[in-house]
Structure formats: structure tokens, C-alpha cells
Amino acid sequence: MVSKRIYEQGHKMLKYIKLPQACFPIRYIIKNIAKLLLCLLFAFSFFPIEATAEQTVMDLDSIIFRGIEYIHRDSFKQGISEFEKIVKKYPDDPAGYFFIAAALQTLIDDYRNEKYQADFEKNIDLAIEKGTKKVEKDPDSAIDHFYLGGSLGYRGIYRSFRGSWWGAFRDGGKANSNLKQAVELDSTLYDAYFGLGAYHYWRSVKSKLFWWLPFFGDERKKGIQETMIAIQKGKYAKDEAAYSLLRIYLEEKDYPAVLKWSQEVKRINENDPFRLWMTGFAYIGLDNWVEAKGIFLELLNVLKSSPYYDPAGEYECRYWLAYVNYNLGDLESAEEELSQALKLEPKTKGNDYAEPFVDKIKDLQKKISGGLKSR
């Protein structure tokens, strides 16, 4: 989610030519962090591409701006097409590969559509490969360290969701090292605190059992404070850091804060699926079943009307609608939502998003059936 203001500020660099716990599955929590990191990477990706004329910069500006605007509107096919022009023109630079991967991951996360995994993996690996070469060539570049750190963190979260914990922790450690190096090289790079904040907060959440050990501890507060620094002082990441607070405050079970920040980011894209998922979960946390139902109905419409629709998204959304209706006492509507979800189940086999909801649907079915029989 990159505003025109953020994009225009970031483009100036071109002249230098250089997630209640029981309700929210762990896998879902992990996966949504990816969306937040994606926003971070969009905000901080500068394009150190060799340019010999102002027209070259203007052409690149036009391509990137169009691509970002398309992604901003969830027009992924058009956005990726724009970024592919960068790859074609600058095949040895990481920028084009990164933007393609970022667009694909947003699509996957928003719509639970895993058909694009192979393309994502190919492009994020290429971005890291080329980013590593740039850091090796110029180890004193704060921007390049930040770019590499963000890309590694992005891949680490993707790996953690799929059970590759060793690879995820390895990427996470390297990401943190590069982000810290970026700040050390440029103390005014306040936007880097967005990445550091995400690392410190989520590392603490996922290592809770080890807080008593040296080098672990609870750094959630530190992570939130670093995120606020990015919002207050950052030049490019204000909106992106605000998005990240939805997931953080949901994890903290501070549901009023989730709703507050949901209103903040609504101005960016009111139909953004991530915002709707988070908002719906916040209302569930508050036992505000009426508002939750309205949000999930809105989300269902967004998912089904998108060309990037995947049955897994509808499958999950209908579970939450059934859950909400059950808590409203509308057992018939709850039963109907589960019936619709079960029709989709054969089409969701192998989808990592859908997997946790297979057992949840069975459990909820039993409760609904018991409630109907007791009438």
C-alpha cells in the first residue's frame, strides 16, 4: 500500500543512481505478517539502476508508479506486467524481481490463492541473490543493507509458514543484522525502525517459551515503540507502519486499538482484504457479533468479485460467518454457511490457509447440530 506521497519521496533517491488466540490459528498469524512486511518493502525499495539521462529516470518513474498504483487497486496482473518491464530492461538489478515477488505475495495473502507460490519463490530468491551482490560490492550502503534485510525477512516469514523453521530463523537473523547495519550507517533512516520493530515484536511473540534464556526476552514493547518511531519520523513508511499496528494490536488483544488503526488505513483502500480480515477478528474479540457479521459479509463480496478469487478464501470467510451467526443464536444461518463451506472443501485440498479450518468446521458443526436438536 504505497501512497503517491510515499512514492514521490522515495523516487527522489533515483537521482543518486544507486497477527482471542484460540480463534486465530498460528499459521494465519504468521502469514499475515507477510502482508505487513510487503508494505515495508514497497516503501523502501530504491532503484540503484545505472542511468545516463533524465529520460531514463522518467521512464522508470512512470513504470514503477503505474505498477504500484495497479497493486494498490488489487489489479495484480496489470501491476506485474509493469514490473516485468523493469526486469526486461534491467535484468541484473533486483528491483523488478522484488516488485514482482511483492505483488505475488500480496495476492496470495489477500485471497488465500497459492497458485502463485512458485513464481513468488523464484522472484524473491532472485531479489535476494542480486541484493547480496550489491551489499558485497558496497558494504557501506545503508539503503542496500536495508533492501537486503527486508527481502530476507520477507522470505523468512514465507518459510516459517510452511514449516521450514531453520531456514526461517536463519533468514530472520540475517535480516535483523542488515537492518541494524542500515541504521548504524545512517542514523536518520527512521523508516528502518519499521523493519526492526516488526522483527523485535514478532520474534518475541514466537519465542515466548524462551524469554528466560539469554538473548531472548520479551521485546514486544520495544518493537511497538520502534514501529511508532517509523510512523512519527519516517519519511516513507508512515502508512505501512500504521498497517502493521493492526496485526500487532490484534495479537495484543487490544481490539479498540485495532479498530482505531483500521480507520486510519481505510483511507488507503477501504476494500483491502487484509484490513477487513483484521477488523472482523477485532469485532469477534469484542464479542460484537453484529459488526463482525457485517465485515465478513463485506469481505466475502470483495473476495468473490475479484479475478484473483480462490475457494480457500471463501472457505475461510464462510467459516467465520458461521461462527458469528452461531454466537448470534442464528443456528440456521450458521448451518447454511457451513454447508456452503463444505461444498468448497474439495477445491481447497493442499491449501495451507484452508487446512486449519477443516477441523474447526467439524467442531462447529457438532455445536450447531447439538443446539438445533435441543430446541
Hey, what domains does the chain have and what are their CATH numbers?
4-255 (1.25.40.10)
Q: Where is pLDDT greater, at 41 or 109?
A: 109
Model pLDDT for residues 212-244, shown as the tens digit of each residue: 555 567 889 999 999 999 888 876 567 778 888
Output the CA–CA distances (angstroms, integers) from residue 219 to 196, 208, 223, in the order listed. Answer: 11, 10, 6
Residue 149 identity (one-letter amino acid): G
pLDDT of amino acid 1? 39
HEC profile of 221-284: HHHHHHHHHHHHHCCCCHHHHHHHHHHHHHHCCCHHHHHHHHHHHHCCCCCCHHHHHHHHHHHH
What is the average per-residue pLDDT within 10-29?
Answer: 37
Contact 295/280 with Cβ under 8 angstroms?
Answer: yes
pLDDT of amino acid 55? 54
Highest mean pLDDT among 3-17, 66-80, 233-247, 346-360: 346-360
Cα–Cα dist 69/78, whole Å: 10
Q: CA-CA-CA-CA torsion for 234, 106, 179, 134, nearest 10 degrees?
A: -110
Cα–Cα dist 69/218, whole Å: 38
Model pLDDT for residues 77-129, shown as the tens digit of each residue: 999 999 999 889 988 887 788 888 888 988 998 899 999 999 999 999 998 99
Output the CA–CA distances (angstroms, integers) from residue 290 to 9, 38, 328, in the order listed. Answer: 41, 31, 8
pLDDT of amino acid 29? 40
pTM of the model: 0.79
Cα–Cα dist 259/193, whole Å: 23
pLDDT of amino acid 35? 46
Gap between the terminal Cα atoms of the chain: 49
Model pLDDT for residues 173-206, shown as the tens digit of each residue: 898 898 899 899 998 888 788 888 888 888 888 7
Residue 91 identity (one-letter amino acid): P
Cα–Cα dist 131/12, whole Å: 20
Model pLDDT for residues 148-179, shown as the tens digit of each residue: 887 887 788 788 778 787 888 888 889 889 88
Residue 65 confidence class, pLDDT cut points 50, 70, 90: confident
Which residues lie below 8 Å from residue 280, measured CB to CB, with a gap of 6+?
Answer: 292, 295, 296, 299, 320
